[in-house]
Amino acid sequence: EPEVTQTPSHQVTQMGQEVILRCVPISNHLYFYWYRQILGQKVEFLVSFYNNEISEKSEIFDDQFSVERPDGSNFTLKIRSTKLEDSAMYFCASSETDGRADTQYFGPGTRLTVL
């Protein structure tokens, strides 16, 4: 069964450093998403991406964040200058159609630890 994959599974970085989290969505899916889950808290929407541009973003997704689909398979989340409060599990998701009413399939997550 096709699945969303994410790398790395765990990333440790120093405050102020840039990190790039990588995702490979399911191949025939057109909509891509990033969510985050701070330890012990709820899963929060960050951004959605379709047709090579951001379609929606939350208040969390400020100028420190950016997303890109650099090729036909990868979808990346970049945090330009990490802060301690960016420590969280980051989930990538994809859906075949508009995910606001369609099932989104989630990757296993990347645990980001900012020291």
Task: List residues binding another protein (CB under 8 A).
Answer: 6, 33, 35, 41-45, 48, 56, 58, 91, 93, 98-109
Q: How far is the CB of 37 from another protein (least distance, A)?
A: 9
Task: Kindly state the tokens that stand for 35.
Answer: 């969510």
Shortest reach from residue 100's CB to another protein, in Å: 5
* CA-wise closest residue to 34 among 77, 98, 70: 77
Of 22 and 108, nearer to another protein (C-beta) is 108
CB closer to another protein, 25 vs 99: 99
The amino acid sitting at 39 is L
Whichever of 25 and 107 has its CB closer to another protein, that residue is: 107
Minimum CB–partner distance for residue 98 and another protein (Å): 7
Closest approach of Cβ 103 to another protein, in Å? 6
Spatial strand order of the sheet with 19-24 comes to 5-7, 19-24, 75-79, 65-68
Judging by beta carbons within 10 Å of its beta carbon (0-12, 13-18, 19+), is residue 25 exposed, middle or buried? buried
Query: What does residue 85 show for φ and ψ, rounded to 5 degrees?
Result: -75, -5
